[in-house]
Structure formats: structure tokens, C-alpha cells
Structure 1
Amino acid sequence: MREALIVWGGWPGHEPEQCATIVAGLLRDEGFQVHLETSTRAFASPQLSTMSLIVPIYTMSKIEKDEVANLSKAVREGTGLAGYHGGMGDAFREAVEYQFMCGG
């Protein structure tokens, strides 16, 4: 079974929890087993590269260097990355490696 990890959080005004719920439903409808996390520490997990898809929904926040490095490694090794607008592309403004990985 394909597995997706949604990591949500950040500024509540962007409604990350509600958005994560919507995306999780869409992915479940497509046959994914969905895991939801609320901390960027999930990006540092050694199991990250076993996911089929990673969906960051995190706004106006910071990410640690080890988290970005592990996330980038998982994507380079073939894990899918998906997201939208500020929930992914503008999530971690100070993390240049993350911006390049997303294409921002």
C-alpha cells in the first residue's frame, strides 16, 4: 500500500489542520495510507524515505538543518513531494536548501 506523510502546522490563520484534513481525505480516496504529524521533527525520521509521498502543510515557521537534509535525501531517492502555495513553497523562508528542493 502506498503511504503518505502529511506534516502540518505553523500559523493557525492559514488553517493548516483543516487543510491537512482535506488533503488526507483526497489521498485516502486514492488508496493511500495517510500519516499525520504536527512537528517538523517528522522530517528527520529515518523512516521518511519509506513514504511514497510527503506533503508539507506548514506555514510561517522554521525547519532545522537535519530535518531539511533528511527530507531532501528522501526526495532525491525517489519519495514524492507534493504541496500547494504557502503550505509548501513558502513554508520555511530561512531554509535555502528547502526552497531549492521545492523549486521556490
Structure 2
Amino acid sequence: MTTPASRRALVVRGGWDGHEPVPTTEHFARHLEGVGFTVQRSEGPAVYADADLLAEVDLIVQCITGGEITGEEMAGLSRAVAAGTGLAGWHGGITGSFPGTADFMQLVGGVFAAHPPGPPRDTEGEGEDGEPSVYVPHLVQFTEAGRNHPVTRGLSDFELVSENYWILADDYVDVLATTTQPAGPGTPWHRPVVSPAVWVRHWGRGRVFVATPGHDLDTVASPEVSALIGRGLEWASR
């Protein structure tokens, strides 16, 4: 049986620089090292084709927004998770990875659809093109399941001013927290839309953890988000 002191994590990062894949993953690499993990870094998903390496990894932390993955790499990742390697990530680094790759979307269970702004009176600042910012105040609310799950037990609802993700998810996710896209003047939807913000799932012998908060280092380093994701990484590990 693997002990905490011998666990091994693989950080796989890249993609769009706006999500700060290196600073954010280094923040959590320090957390993992502090609880006894050995952490290896990989720039891009080519490492997923290395079956021998993945067999020795207890946790994969992925932060790749966009990007591409080959069939061999995707198959290697799927096999590793099904065999017991944990997979975890946050924000676009896992819900916006490898657009159009159905196998990856199925593995993760949810995919980024949009981050629509709230009504103009609810937004803070303006975007570069003068449109309302997608940084909007919103509440991360824990579900009843979340209040009883080891990842989120004892955590309190918290507010963020950041991107609020509209997520498309399947029925095999255990939703631990949600956010709401409000309806109002200027929105084409006519009632509030609730999206999963934190979820987990079991895949074969592996565990998957996803959190949608985490746009940049400032967000992941906030006490609430840092604690949430840190717990999720540890839970997902083999």
C-alpha cells in the first residue's frame, strides 16, 4: 500500500499563458511537496504516452488550456486513470483542454461552454474591447453532497470576483459545489442557470477532481480556493 510519504505527482502543463500554467501549478506543487509528494513536471501531454512512467504516478495534476492531444497520449492517460492514477485540475486547465477530444471530455465529465458576463450593473471593470468584463462577482455554494464529502466537508460558501464558468456536464459527476449564471437584462437566457463548480468522479480504480475556480495565480492563491484545490488533489491521489 502506498504511504503519503512515498506518493508521486506528475504536473502536466502548457496551453494558453493567460491561465498562468506555470505559476499556478508551482503553487500546488509546493503544497504537494509539503504533504509528502515527490513532484515531477512535464511541459505538454507527450508524457501521457509513457505507460511505464504513468504506472508509477499516483496523481496527475493537469493545467493545459486548449492544446492538442494525440490518440496515443489520450489512450495512455485513460488507461492510467482507470488503473488507479488520480487526475485533478482546475479552471480551463482541465475543463478547456484539448477541444473536440471526446474521450477527454468523457474522462473529465464536464467541459467549459462560456463565461458570460452578468448584467452590466453586476460587472466590475471593462474588457479590453470596452465590453463588460467576464470578471463578475459570484458565489461558490456547496451542495448537500459537498457538505458531507471529504474534499469539501467543513468548507463554507465563498464569493469570488473572477470568471464564472458555464459548464456542460454529464450525469456521472458528483457535484460538490455550484455557481449560478443569473438571468437579467441583456442575457439571452430567461432563468438562472446553475453550473457545477466542483465535482468528483470515479473512473475505473482512479479518481477525478475538478474545480472551475482558478483563473490565475491570484485566484488559486486565495485562501478559499487554495484550500479547496489542495484538498481535491490529495483526495484524487491513488
TM range (shorter): over 0.9
Partner of 1:48: 54
5+ long unaligned stretches in structure 2:
1-5, 111-238
- What are the equivalent positions in structure 2 for 1:1-104 lying under 5 Å apart? 1-46=6-51, 47-104=53-110
Cα deviation code 1:38-88 (max 9, x no counterpart): 021011112212100001111111111110100000000011111112111
> Which AA in structure 2 matches 1:88?
I
Matched residues in 2 for 1:97 and 1:60: separation?
15
Q: Aligned AA for 1:76?
A: A
Larger helix fraction of residues:
1
Letter in 2 for 1:86: G
Q: Distance in 1 between matches of 2:75 and 2:88?
A: 17
Normalising by the residue count of structure 2, what TM-score does the alignment of the two structures yield? 0.43
Moved runs in structure 1, 4+ residues, more than 2 A? none
Given that 1:49 and 1:75 are in contact with CA atoms closer than 8 Å, whether structure 2 keeps it comes out as no
More strand by share: 2
Q: What's the TM-score, normalizing by structure 1? A: 0.95
Q: CA deviation at 1:26?
A: 1.1
The amino acid across from 1:11 in the alignment is: W
For the aligned residue pairs, the C-alpha RMSD in angstroms reads: 0.9
* SS of equivalent residue, structure 1 residue 83: strand
Q: State, as a whole percentage, how many aligned pairs show the same letter.
A: 39
* Distance across 2 between alignment mates of 1:49 and 1:81: 13
What number of residue pairs does the alignment pair up? 104
Larger Cα-atom Rg: 2
